[in-house]
Amino acid sequence: MSTTAVVTGLGVVSPNGLGIKDFWAATKSGKSGIGRITRFDPSPYPARLAGEIPGFVAEDHLPNRLLPQTDRMTQLALVAADWALADAGVTPAELPEFDMGVVTASHSGGFEFGQGELKKLWSLGSQHVSAYQSFAWFYAVNSGQISIRNGMKGPSGVVVSDQAGGLDAIAQARRQIRKGTALIVSGGVEAPVCPWGWVAQLAGNRLSTSDEPARAYLPFDAEACGHVPGEGGAILVLEAAEAARRRGAKVYGEIAGYGATIDPRPGSGGEPGLRRALETALADAGVRPGEVDVVFADAAAIPELDRAEADAINAVFGPGGVPVTAPKTMTGRLYSGAAPLDLASAFLAMADGLIPPTVNTEPSPEYGLDLVTAQPRPAEIRTALVLARGQGGFNSALVVRAAD
């Protein structure tokens, strides 16, 4: 029988809360972190809202030596990893270094750092580009810096598949635990709120151009008009269940099942791959649809994508057959950080017996979903399903189960 991978630590950096306590208090009460961009002047751009993390001062949390060599996304990721390890009660220096690995997801890379260095390149010349640009922008840099800071030399890597990557990384972490590594730090953290990151996202044609924070990101609403991006995400500590039990660790729950598919070629008329990903994850977990207590939706807020997601959920659970929520309406879409943050929400929801709400959306009846809106819904949650789709046809689904 395969080794069971359990989650023992959570570290959250979210637009609506730093740390699990603040984040969960905000999330269950429907407090949004979306507002007009402050990190640069957004007025010349067609999209001007984002979920920014206020009050994060890297100097307060990280050694000075790390500051000149890290993008904001890496600073956030390092702090989230510190918090996750502390939450898990793990002191990495006390564990064998090859028994710990790091697998994160990335979508944007260190764009703000990279933008600054490119600006120096073109305005001052190549002599002025930081030597740290060699890795500070790179997709794998969060994994690398977490690995170095914590002395983790086991299997490590990065997964890049847009929003789906947040689940793909957790699945890869589970694979490494099954192959024998005792502990993997996983998840995803992004910070693409800078002009370069912004124009890259605008090119994808999926951003909301609304200026009203409460009307801009409305998945499954008839007024859906694209998404608001955000920064942040979550880092999780995954451990082999046996290792966690031996050290008497608190366990949030188990990574029970995973499925990933690629959409058929555009224009081919084939069914999108999300339903198969979802069914594969349930089968992998050995869970019947009726046992799923809540679905955390991908929530694209693009009408045809909302339709595809609702169709997949309804095909498996029946119309209105399962509570669905999208707390990312409070943070914006965090790309590779979104699904790890949803996983954190799922575990916190299990502990609290509350499904966090989808804010602002007035669900369109045509989607036939039981969307949890406005207020958190009391519920006994044993099994949760998280969905994540990436631009380019990536579909991933992950089932998590409460600890016994």
Partner 1 sequence: MATKEFTLDDLKRILREGAGADESVDLDGDILDTDFEELGYESLALLETGGRIEREFGITLDDDVLTDARTPRALIAAVNALLGAGAAA
Closest to partner 1 by CB, 145 vs 325, is 145
Check binding of 151 to partner 1 (CB under 8 A).
Answer: no
Check binding of 66 to partner 1 (CB under 8 A).
Answer: yes
Closest to partner 1 by CB, 65 vs 265, is 65
Closest to partner 1 by CB, 131 vs 214, is 131
Stretch that binds partner 1, among 30-38, 49-57, 58-66, 223-231 (CB under 8 A): 58-66
Nearest distance, CB of residue 150 and partner 1, angstroms: 17
Residues of this chain, 130-149, that bind partner 1 according to CB under 8 A: 130-132, 134
Check binding of 375 to partner 1 (CB under 8 A).
Answer: no
Tokens of 8: 């023992």
**14 contacts 343 by C-beta, under 8 angstroms:** no
Candidates 123, 127, 205, 268; binder of partner 1 (CB under 8 A) is: 127
Quote the CA–CA distance of 300 and 278 in Å, as a whole number.
Answer: 17
- Size, binding site for partner 1 by CB under 8 A: 13
Stretch that binds partner 1, among 31-39, 63-71, 110-118, 191-199 (CB under 8 A): 63-71
**Does the CA dihedral 214-218-224-230 come out positive or negative?**
positive
Candidates 44, 55, 63, 365; binder of partner 1 (CB under 8 A) is: 63
Instruction: Please name the amino acid found at residue 240.
Output: A
Stretch that binds partner 1, among 128-136, 289-297, 333-341, 373-381 (CB under 8 A): 128-136
Check binding of 69 to partner 1 (CB under 8 A).
Answer: yes
Check binding of 214 to partner 1 (CB under 8 A).
Answer: no
Stretch that binds partner 1, among 60-68, 240-248, 309-317, 374-382 (CB under 8 A): 60-68
Closest to partner 1 by CB, 56 vs 132, is 132
Closest to partner 1 by CB, 71 vs 306, is 71
**187 contacts 388 by C-beta, under 8 angstroms:** no
Q: Summarize as ranges the residues that interact with partner 1 (CB under 8 A).
A: 63-69, 127-128, 130-132, 134
